[in-house]
A and B are shown apart, each in its own frame.
Chain A
Amino acid sequence: MLIERIREFTGSGHPSLEAVLKAANGIILGKEAQIRMAVACLLARGHLLIEDIPGVGKTTLSHVLATLLGLQYQRIQFTSDLLPADIIGVSIFDRETSSFRFHPGPIFSQVILADEINRASPKAQSALLEAMEEHQVTSDGVTRNLPDPFFVIATQNPIHQVGTFPLPESQLDRFLMRVKLGYPDRDAERALLKGEDRRDLIAHLKPAMTPEELRALQKEVQCVIVSDALVDYVQALIAHTRDGSKFESGLSPRAGLAVLRGAQAWALMSGRKQVLPEDVQAVVPAVVGHRLKAMVSAGAKAFDPAQELIRAVAIP
C-alpha cells in the first residue's frame, strides 16, 4: 500500500529510527510532533534550532537526540562574554616543541549543543557560521575539517527575553529548522511531575542508532523522489513570499532547498519513496518559521507566516 496516514505518524520501516523516536518520546512527554521534526531535521543533515522559554525541555531534547543517535557531543553554554576562541579553540605556544600547538575547542565534535545561543554576542555567534555552512573552521590561517556527521543543535530563548542578542538573519538562515516546544499538555505535565528525574533518565540512556546507520539514512533521504510537480509547488510557495505584500523579505534559494530536504526526510520517516505536497506542508512551519517575517502594518491582524503561506498557495 502506497499511501500511509502520514499525519498520524506511521512507521518508517526503519527499526532503529523507530527506536530513537520511541526512546525520545519516553523522556520528553507529549511532544511527538516536535521530536519527529527534530529527527527529520537531523536526517536532512540540517542544523536545528529549538526555541522556547526556559524550562520546557529544550536542553533535554538536544541531549536526548545526541545520545540516542550515538553521536559524540559537546555542550557550549553561550554567554554574553563568550569569545570565538572558546568555541573554535586556540593555538598555544608549546615550550617543548617551540611551536604553537592548536588546542581544538568544543566545536570539534559530531554534535554541538549550543545552549542559549542568543545570549552570546554576535561576534561569538559568527564563529559558528563557517562551521555550520562549510563543516570546517579556520583559525590562525589553518582550515580544519570538522567530524562527520556534524550537527549544531542550538537552543534559544524568545527574542524579547532580557539579555538576548537576536541571531542575525544570515545565521538564522543556516538552521534548517526551528522547532518550538511549547508547554506540555495536562497529562504529559502530570506524568512529568510524578515521574523520575529527567537527568537520571538521560544518564542511563543508551544510543539507539549507530553513526553508520545515521549516515545510511541520510543517504536514503537524498534518494526520496522529488517530481517536477512537487518542485512546481515549492517554487509557487517561494514565489508567494517574494511578491512583497505580506512578508518583509522573500525566501532565499537556500530556504527553498531546505524545504525540499526537510520534506524528503519527512517523507522517508513516513515510509514513502516520494515527496508529497503534504510533506512540504508538514515541514514548512519549521523550515520557514524563522526565515519569514510577516509584514507589520498598522491595524492588520498578526498572523503566523507559515500557516498563511500554506493556505495562500494552491497546489499546482
Chain B
Amino acid sequence: MSTAPDQAALKRGNVLWLMAAMGFVIAPHAERLPLWVSATCLGVAVWRGLIAWHGRKMPHGLFVAGLAIATAAGTWLSYSRLYGRDASSTLLILMLCLKLLEMRSRRDALLTIFLGFFLVFTNFLYSQTVLMGAYMLVCVWIFMATLVGFNRVGTEATFRERALPAGRIILQAIPLMLVVFILFPRVSTPLWRLPQEGTTGRTGLSESVSPGDLNKLIQSEHVAFRADFKGPIPKNDRLYWRGPVMMDFDGRTWTMSPFPGILTMRTAGIEAKGDEIDYVVTLEPHGKTWMFALDMPLILPSDGFLQSDYQIRSGAPINALRRYEMRSALSYVARRELSPEARRRYTTLPLDSNPRATRFARQLRTNNATDRALINAALLLFNQQFIYTLEPPVLGRSPVDEFLFDTKRGFCEHYASAFVYLMRAAGIPARVVLGYQGGEINTVGNYLIVRQADAHAWAEVWLEGEGWVRTDPTAAVSPDRIERGMDLALGPVGVLPNLIAADKFGLLRQVRYTWDAFNNQWNQWVVGYNTDRQAYFLKGLGIDSTDWRKLAMWLLFGGLAASGLVGAFLLLKRNPAVKDPALLAYEKFVRQMAAVGVRREAHEGPVDFLHRIEREHSDLAAGARRVTDLYIAVRYATHGAIAKSDPRIDQLRAAVANIRNA
C-alpha cells in the first residue's frame, strides 16, 4: 500500500474545513474538558496547520501511537476510568484530534469525518435542548460540506460549492429521518440516558433542609418541571407540588427518613374528597429520585413508587427529561389511623436543642383544649408578629428559638421548621414537606411552568380523625405568597423577571412564554418521545406499536416511501416534465386504445402497436393508422427538436380526437 499522501487529503481548504468542523463540534465540550485536553487539541490543530501550510513532515506513526497512549493514560488519570460518559467523550475527542496527524489519504479523512458525526451525538449526552439541537445541525452541515470537499475531483470547492450541496443532502435526508424517528421502536427512557458521574451541581431540592437553604434556590429561574392539565388549571393556592418529606430533626437541620416504608396506592390510605385532576408532568433532570405530584397523588408513574410519607420516588436518579401522567385529589383525607410507633416518630425532637420553643409549646398545649385550637394559636402568632423576607438574619445554634423569639423574620423553611417543631413539642405528629408551590401559567401554551423559584416548604400535621392535614405557616404570614405567587409577594427576583416587570406592553413576557412553549413542545415530542408517547402518536395514525413486527413493516414501508418520494422528486427535477406535444397527444391515443382493451407495452414502438390494433381491433385501424402516421411524421421524421408550432401537431390532436369517426 502506498503511503504517499493523497492529493485530495492534503488540499489545504479541505484540511481547514475538517479542523473547523471538529472545532465547532468540540466547542460545547470545552468547558467540561480538563484544560490539558483542550490544550492538546489546539496543539494538534496548529501542528496540522503547519503540515498543511508550511509543508512540514507528517509525524512518524510510532510517535502518533505514543501520543495516543499518553493521552489515553492522561484521560485515565483525569477521570480514573476510560468508560462512562465524560471519560469516553474525552477519549473520543483526543483520538479524533490525533487522527489529524496521521491523515495521509482520503480514506483517513473520510474516517475522521464519520467519527466526527459520532462526536456530534456525544453533545446530546449533556444537553438535549432545542438550541443544542440547532447547533449540532450546523455542525452536521459543516461536516457534510467537508465531506463534499473531500469527494470533489479537480479544483478545490468554493464555499458555495460545499455549503449548497451539503444543505441539499441534509434536506433530502429529512423525510427518512422523520420516518425513522417516529417509527423506530423506543426504549422506555430516552436514548441519551447514561449513568451520571459525580456531582453535577444541578439546582433543585435536596435531602435535607436547614434555615437558609431554600432562598438560594429561589434565586434560580431554572424550570423545575412543566405541568399540562387536562382540565382548567387549579388556583394558585391549591398547587402544592409535593417533593421530599422531612422527618428527622437534629435541632438545626431536617432530614428525610432514612428507611421509609413503601406503599402501594391500595395501602396508601388516601381518600379523594372532590374532583380528581389529571395532568402530565414533564420533569427536567435534577439528579435526584423524587418525582413531583400535586397533593395527594392517586396514581403512580410507571417507574415510580410511593413512600409511606407520600413522596413519589423514581427507581433511578432523574438525569434525563421525564414525562409522566398523574392524577391527584386536591381535597383528600390521608391516613386516618396512625400507629403508635409512627406517632412516636413524628413527635420526636432532639433533647434540649431549642428549650424556649419547647416551653412555649407546652404553654400552648395547656392553653388550648384541642389540636385545632393549638394550631390556630400558633398560626395567629406567626400572622401577628412575624415578617416574611428573603433576607432573614443569620441564625445560630438554636435556630428555632432564635427565630421564634428574637429575629421573627424568615422565609418559608423557617416557618415550616419552627411550626413543625412547635407541633411536635406539643405532642402533635408533624413533618416538614418540601416541594414547589404554585407556578406560572404560560398563556401561549396554556400549561404551568414551575421554576426553582417556586420552591417551598410547608408543614403537615396529623389530626385525629382527619389524617394528615397540610398547614402552611407561610400562608399565615404572607398570604400573597401562596395566593398569587412569589413575584407578587416579594417583587420580581433576578434579572429577567425584573426586565419583564419593567416591560409595559408585555412583549417580553409574550416572547418568553412563546419560547418556553416551544421548548415545552420540543420536550414533549422530541426529547420525551418515549414508548408511551410513540404508542399514543402512532395510535392516532392507526398503527399498532405494540407489535414490533408490524412496526418493523411500517418502518420499512415508511423508509422506502420517504426515500422514494425524495428520489422521485430528484428525478423529476432532473427531467423537467416539458413533454413533447406530439407525445402528449399520442399518449392520449394510447389511453384510448387501452380503454378498448389494446394496451401498449412500454417498449412497443408505434408501428408494432398499430399492427396489433389492426389485428385486435380492426374497426379502429383506419383512425389508428392516421394517428400513427402523423405521430411518426412529427416525432421521428424531423431532425432536431420538434417545433411547437408545427401544424401537424394540431392535425395529430384532431386525429386522436376523431379516432372513432375515422
Q: Which residues of A contact B (CB under 8 A)?
A: 2-3, 5-7, 225-230, 273-278, 281, 310-316
Q: Are B636 and A3 in contact (CB under 8 A)?
A: no
**A2 and chain B: residue at smallest CB distance:** B629
The A contact surface, by secondary structure, is mixed
Q: Are B603 and A315 in contact (CB under 8 A)?
A: yes
User: Can you offer 5 A-B residue contacts whose CB atoms are under 8 A?
Assistant: A3-B628, A225-B637, A225-B638, A227-B639, A276-B632
Binary CB contact string for chain B from 553 to 596 against chain A (1 if under 8 A, 0 otherwise):
00000000000000000000000000010010000000000000
Q: Tell whether B608 is near chain A: CB-to-CB under 8 Å.
A: yes
- Please name the 7 residue pairs, one residue from A and one from B, whose CB atoms are nearest each other, closest first: A314-B602, A277-B605, A278-B605, A274-B637, A227-B636, A229-B635, A274-B636
Q: Are B605 and A281 in contact (CB under 8 A)?
A: yes
Closest Cβ of chain A to B636, distance in Å, is 5
Q: Which residues of B contact A (CB under 8 A)?
A: 580, 583, 602-608, 610-611, 625, 628-629, 632-633, 635-642
Partner of B604, one of A2, A226, A230, A315: A315
Partner of A227, one of B604, B606, B608, B638: B638
Contacting residues, chain B, for A228 (C-beta < 8 A): 640-642
CB contacts between A and B, total, < 8 Å: 66
In the docked arrangement, what's the CA distance between A229 and B632, Å? 10
Contacting residues, chain A, for B637 (C-beta < 8 A): 225, 227, 273-274
Contacting residues, chain B, for A227 (C-beta < 8 A): 635-640, 642
Closest Cβ of chain A to B169, distance in Å, is 21
**A312 and chain B: residue at smallest CB distance:** B603
Q: Are A3 and B629 in contact (CB under 8 A)?
A: yes
Q: Are B636 and A6 in contact (CB under 8 A)?
A: no
Given contacts A6-B607, A273-B637, A274-B632, 16 further A-B contacts (CB under 8 A): A3-B607, A225-B639, A226-B639, A227-B642, A228-B640, A229-B583, A229-B635, A229-B642, A230-B636, A274-B636, A274-B637, A276-B607, A278-B605, A281-B605, A313-B602, A315-B605
Q: Are A314 and B603 in contact (CB under 8 A)?
A: yes
In the docked arrangement, what's the CA distance between A5 and B615, Å? 13
Q: Are B639 and A313 in contact (CB under 8 A)?
A: no
Q: Are A278 and B635 in contact (CB under 8 A)?
A: no
Contacting residues, chain B, for A6 (C-beta < 8 A): 607
Contacting residues, chain A, for B625 (C-beta < 8 A): 3
In the docked arrangement, what's the CA distance between A314 and B632, Å? 17
In the docked arrangement, what's the CA distance between A281 and B604, Å? 9
Closest Cβ of chain A to B201, distance in Å, is 57
Contacting residues, chain A, for B628 (C-beta < 8 A): 3
Contacting residues, chain A, for B605 (C-beta < 8 A): 276-278, 281, 315
Partner of A313, one of B603, B610, B638, B640: B603
Q: Are A3 and B610 in contact (CB under 8 A)?
A: yes
Query: Known contacts being A3-B628, A5-B611, is A276 close to B606, with CB within 8 Å?
Result: yes
Q: Are A276 and B636 in contact (CB under 8 A)?
A: yes
**B580 and chain A: residue at smallest CB distance:** A229
**B625 and chain A: residue at smallest CB distance:** A3
Query: Known contacts being A3-B610, A3-B625, A278-B608, is A310 close to B603, with CB within 8 Å?
Result: yes
Contacting residues, chain B, for A278 (C-beta < 8 A): 605-608
Q: Are B607 and A225 in contact (CB under 8 A)?
A: no
